[in-house]
Each structure stands twice: as structure tokens, then as C-alpha cells.
Amino acid sequence: MSLRPAIFFDRDGVLNDVVWRDGKPASPRSPDELLLADDCREVVSRLKSAGFLTFVVTNQPDVRRGLMTATDLEAIHRRLAEHITFEEIACCPHDDRDCCGCRKPRPGMLLDLARRWSVDLAASWMIGDQDRDTACGQAAGCHTALLSRSYNSGAGADINAAELTLICDQILESLPLRQTA
């Protein structure tokens, strides 16, 4: 089977708005708090049309910390999937103290998805809003794109942009021209 390129999307702050708690960006803890980003459906559709597999890769430590239930997390992912079709939504429910391989910035979720879906990591992209998303993508051997936000450094990614649509445009512009028969 030939390898295919993929786009790995962080969830919170990329596909949906962050929820501000105590002055810090946080994840929704119920389906009612899930507000999709305005441009996410169009971006996912455009990237799928260009031949990319699409995945969500998200850290959700509030489950481990007892701040939300696994049932609520599943309901949030069901709601997301009702609006946007992805090949798979991968989630790390652990906290830093668990030292698991799937919690970003470690690349475990990307490596697992790549193995199971025959993904060409060198032709793939990790899109996030946190520095750990960039570090994760780089550790997996992907190109990286970072949404410019007040809560990240804005450094280290291959693409930095204020809007998901602009990142999509730059990814599509970077593709080699396709040969026509």
C-alpha cells in the first residue's frame, strides 16, 4: 500500500474556540461549550479535496484530572464529527505526570495513526495553536503550522498565520504541481 499525506489538527484553538478559564485557554468540558471555528469546515474540505487524510489529535487531561468525564469527552467528539468528517479523532486523556507517549509534545498519537493509516509523515502537516503542537509534529517528522495566538511563542513552525484559512492556503501552495495526462 502506498503512503498518503495527512493533516493532523489539534482540536482546541484550531477546530473549535478555546474556553477561557482563570485567564488561560482551556478545552470545552461539555458539548454545549464546543464552538466550531468559523473556517474549519471549509479548510478540512479543501485539504481532503487535495488528497490529504485528516485527523484530530488532542490532549484532554481534564479527564485524568477529574474535571470532566470520559462520557462528556466522547459527546464532544461525537458533536465535532457531526459537523466535520475526519478519518479518526485521537485523544490523549492523560496528565503530564502519567509520562505517556501519546501526550503532546510526544509524537505517539501521530506515529500510531501513521502506522495504522499508511501515512507519509514527511509529506504531512501538524496544525496547532500551542508550541507543544509544533514540537509534536517535528518529533514525528511532519511539517508544522502554528496559529498565531497570544498564548504561544509563535516560533519554530514552518508556517505561522493568524487564521486557519491562511495556513490552508500556504499548505496547498506548497504542494508540487500535479502532472496532467
pLDDT tens, the chain, 181 aa long: 699 999 999 999 999 999 999 999 999 999 999 999 999 999 999 999 999 999 999 999 999 999 999 999 999 999 999 999 999 999 999 888 899 999 999 999 999 999 999 999 999 999 999 999 999 999 999 999 999 999 999 889 999 999 999 999 999 999 876 544 4
Q: Which domain holds residue 143?
A: 6-174
User: Which amino acid is present at 99?
Assistant: C
Residue 148 placed within a domain: yes
**131 assigned to some structural domain:** yes
Pairwise CA distance, residues 109 & 107, whole Å = 6
Task: Kindly write down the DSSP assignment for every residue of 18-45, as one continuous string.
Answer: -EEETTEEE--SSGGG--B-TTHHHHHH
Residue at 179 is within a domain = no
- Strands 24-26 and 19-21 come out as antiparallel
In a domain, 1, yes or no: no
Residues 24/30/33/36 CA torsion (nearest 10 deg): 100
- Total count of domains within the chain: 1
pTM score: 0.94
Please report, for the domain that includes residue 159, its CATH number: 3.40.50.1000
